[in-house]
Structure 1
């Protein structure tokens, strides 16, 4: 992605808690993170009313905190702001907001449902869906990439894998957009009063929908993920209705959003770096895996997650105490000069590439990492080896979020 000219303010001029920071051009934000990484230790950012967080911006610190959940806990929530208690009570706790035994139990049930047969069928489906999307692309010649291509692949693949009937899918796509379009985005007063309700209504409708499908699958199981989840038996437990709804919401919002954004940024990166595009085309199978990893590192679909300190711990030059909040800035860790040579460069041959685009390891490492990689590789194979002159036009329309590197739209053309 093209990086506009950078400002050269000092670290004291950077405020990660100020919504205005997230409206800055990407180059300015990356330069600010570089200045924060140069400090002796984490910096504190006040969020008002006695609240605030310590920013973990170095690769080593983000990775260590990710792998130490007993000290840096996900509960009560990883997003900023944290989910309200009544929201958690109504919709259930998402897996990303759980720790310890609760998280381990839920993850075991989900992992048990991902059988080798189901995963093999999902991978085969990815290639079929990618080919069908590009067939449609060549026939219709649309000019907006997110809606025509990037959103369709992960949505169709996940719906196929879950066993969502076709009649529900248009509404699910609409609900996913409503539920996620303003996460982490500063809005005016009217929107702050209105849009969260719309997002919660969207989640509620999705959860009611999947709960109904779950009841059907309990009575008459099929060869799909919902059936596996509601009939799984791990220590005598399967997913209940609320757990199934929370997992489905996580899978749709997180799985669809992150993959679609990585795909969209990927097209922009290949357009802006024609040398890398030509290298990839020279031997797709040789370079494709590295290209996918570098797209994820460079774009970092999830910008940050929050943690709550549960026990005293020294990290990054500071001793943290229980009750403090830290934020893991993956977008900064993936540009850390101590780990990545020339970190702002887009280099599909970068090796090693220990990016934290799927988290920093530990129990919360992304469940969908393998599927996202398969989806991206399959789609770019179809996009680049058939319509070879597919190009992004102009800059991606970014949402200005402090949570995910969301792209609202990207124009493209066949040259």
Structure 2
């Protein structure tokens, strides 16, 4: 038995594998053999319906289940983690940063060295006061004038993308549409030249590749090297630009960030480089996946497409929220207990790791009626697709909503019959609910 593991209702955790002891909560035939191990990569290669059924089973437990940590070459194996799968647990942990911190690591299950945590996660892997400092500087850089300028540019880019779709007639929706808009917006925001777009795109793919062989090697040592190389490539790119903008400021976000001084505080080169990695990875990958999921959902739910087209402006806001809820582009984030405490009746010890499974919380039957149904009129829709309440709620949520809205407005205005022609080719990842390829035609 692992430290901290024990009986969980009628569940047991031998060797980190959660075993369902012939409980009627599992629909017969859906989980054979009756085991759930969300740490195992094989679980994330299973059909989507089986994974959702497994998390439905976990949500019905009287307390969070405990799992073994994965074996990784770059960090010692830890004691395990609790999977927070209900909406209530995710929201409660999110709003208590003093009890459940991010600084020990938010995007890795294993305990990474502090400098490596910040290298890839920036302020996602920070707690106050450092988190507040970075967020304050970054938020101030996003001035109303700058936000308005980039919102206007979203429209221009969407129009260009649709022009090319009309010319092609068919292709891969991810590369032709979903990836194009957020990539160009973020690069233009930072002042990155067009000849570097592919560098940003390819390296952000590697950082969020999970275990997908299309992007990373199978050997763990090689994967670790690929991740570090990709991160360093992006960091070098933007730090070179940042040094130039300190001497030659322009009307872009890089200039605003590197020259910002809020109450005597400014970003170091390290902080600026790490924030850029966060921006291009989080702002590019997650928005593009939301757009790709949206196209797939409107193809497989034609009645919802017709409903949207019948009154686009009135319904697009709800449609965007439902896409984010249903797809949950970011599957989880980690928190760590800072002291012995309690979470909705569960006793936790200082140092306990918690994985907040937004992907599961957004299907919680106690919060969402018919959660497996895609319904753009869903109201209320208190999803946690942009994170739970608290200091780590997604800084780019407003821009993401804007990009998704404008992209579908242009598509359905000018190419109303565009649709996916095959099921999506999904990313093999336990962290990002990604779509690699989605064939389409107009």
Structure 1 and Structure 2 fold alike (TM over 0.5): yes
Distance between the aligned counterparts of 2:215 and 2:421, measured in 1?
28
The equivalences for 1:261-276 within 5 A come to 261-276=289-304
Other structure's SS at 2:31 match: coil
Distance between the aligned counterparts of 2:79 and 2:194, measured in 1?
45
Match of residue 77 from structure 1: 105
Say whether residues 1:236 and 2:242 are aligned partners. no
Other structure's SS at 1:249 match: helix
- Of 161, 164, 171, 1:136 maps to 164
Match of residue 24 from structure 1: 46
The equivalences for 1:92-171 within 5 A come to 94-171=122-199
Higher helix share: 1
CA contact (8 A) 2:173 2:292 kept: yes
Q: Under a length normalisation based on structure 1, what TM-score does the superposition of the two structures give?
A: 0.94
Give CA-to-partner distance per residue, 1:348-378, whole Å, 9 cap, x none.
0000100000000100000000000000000
Distance between the aligned counterparts of 2:168 and 2:434, measured in 1?
25
Point out the more displaced range, 346-355 or 391-400: 391-400
User: What number of residue pairs does the alignment pair up?
Assistant: 410
- Of 38, 60, 69, 1:47 maps to 69
- Of 421, 424, 429, 1:401 maps to 429
Highest relative contact order (Cα 8 Å, sep 6+), 1 or 2?
A: 1
What is the Cα deviation at residue 166 of structure 1?
Answer: 2.2
Say whether residues 1:412 and 2:440 are aligned partners. yes
The equivalences for 1:2-401 within 5 A come to 7-9=29-31, 13-47=35-69, 49=77, 51-82=79-110, 84-85=112-113, 88=116, 91=119, 94-182=122-210, 190-401=218-429
CA contact (8 A) 2:245 2:255 kept: yes
Other structure's SS at 1:100 match: coil
Give CA-to-partner distance per residue, 1:92-141, whole Å, 9 cap, x none.
76110000101001100000100000000010001110111111111123
CA contact (8 A) 1:76 1:82 kept: no
Distance between the aligned counterparts of 1:401 and 1:334, measured in 2?
18
| CA RMSD of superposed structures (Å) | 2.2
Other structure's SS at 2:399 match: helix
Describe the shift of the 1:246–1:6 C-alpha distance in structure 2 as closer, same or farther (beyond 3 A).
Answer: farther
> Where do 5+ consecutive residues of structure 2 fail to align?
1-26, 71-76
- Structure 1 residue ranges, 4+ long, deviating more than 6 angstroms after superposition: 183-189
Distance between the aligned counterparts of 1:30 and 1:398, measured in 2?
15
Distance between the aligned counterparts of 1:75 and 1:190, measured in 2?
29
CA contact (8 A) 2:174 2:292 kept: yes
Other structure's SS at 1:181 match: coil
